[in-house]
């Protein structure tokens, strides 16, 4: 499959791979990421569906930026994960895929991961001077608002009622 072709063309670039439930996934380092993308674009993976991230709070590097690609001719999918540490940047794909524009802005907004080379890296879903990055694991779900977990008129007990029963 395509992972074998990547390994044949660019040896040493694949740090890890799996195909859990049939989803082909490769883990690639940030500095060789653009080479891989250019190669798979030539292989037919011409649609970038989505860019998102996962905060692995108990691991270094902290974040995994996850890209999903689709090959319209063979209907194959590929997931590329790029591990990135706190504060480090990932190269932006905006020059190759216009769909990366807003997806990368959203990852920057919600996780705080900067993208190098993005023409307009500003917040997308939250307002410009919103403090913090909400989808990080250390950001509280209620954002500091007591009324999220306590009812109006109820006695304000110090323990908030959690959503998990």
Pick the closer one to other proteins by CB: 29 or 66: 66
Our CB check for other proteins shows the closer of 15 and 72 to be 72
E strands along the chain, which residues? 14-18, 25-28, 47-55, 63-71, 76-84, 90-91, 115-116
Cβ proximity to other proteins: between 31 and 95 the closer is: 95
CB of 11 to other proteins, least distance (A): 26
- The residue (of 10 and 54) whose beta carbon lies closer to other proteins is 54
Shortest distance (Å) from residue 68 CB to other proteins: 6
Q: Specify whether the CB–CB gap between 11 and 26 falls below 8 A.
A: no
Q: How far is the CB of 72 from other proteins (least distance, A)?
A: 6
Q: Which two three-digit tokens encode residue 18?
A: 């799996």
CA separation for the pair 16, 131 (Å, rounded): 35
Binding site for other proteins (CB under 8 A): 20-21, 23, 25, 46-50, 52, 54-55, 66, 68, 72, 75, 77, 79, 97-99, 101-103, 110, 123-131, 134-135, 139-149, 152, 156, 162-165
Task: Quote the DSSP letter at residue 161.
Answer: P
In whole angstroms, the minimum distance from the beta carbon of 164 to other proteins comes to 7
Distance of alpha carbon 34 from alpha carbon 42, whole angstroms: 13
Helix axes 33-42, 2-9, angle to 10 degrees: 120
User: Residue 145 CB, nearest distance to other proteins (Å)?
Assistant: 6
């Amino acid at each position: 499959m395509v992972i074998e072709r990547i390994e044949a063309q660019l040896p040493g670039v694949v740090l890890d791979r799996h195909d859990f439930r049939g989803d082909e996934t490769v883990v690639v380092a940030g500095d060789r990421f653009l080479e891989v993308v250019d190669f798979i674009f030539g292989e037919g993976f011409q649609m970038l569906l989505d860019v998102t991230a996962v905060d692995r709070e108990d691991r270094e590097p902290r974040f995994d930026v996850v890209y999903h690609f689709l090959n319209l001719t063979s209907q194959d999918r590929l997931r590329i994960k790029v591990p990135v540490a706190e504060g480090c940047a990932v190269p932006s794909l905006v020059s190759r895929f216009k769909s990366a524009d807003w997806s990368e802005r959203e990852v920057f907004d919600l996780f705080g991961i900067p993208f190098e080379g993005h023409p307009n890296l500003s917040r997308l879903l939250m307002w410009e001077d919103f403090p913090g990055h909400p989808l990080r694991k250390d950001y509280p779900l209620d954002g500091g608002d007591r009324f999220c977990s306590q009812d109006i008129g109820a006695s304000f007990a110090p323990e908030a009622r959690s959503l998990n029963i």
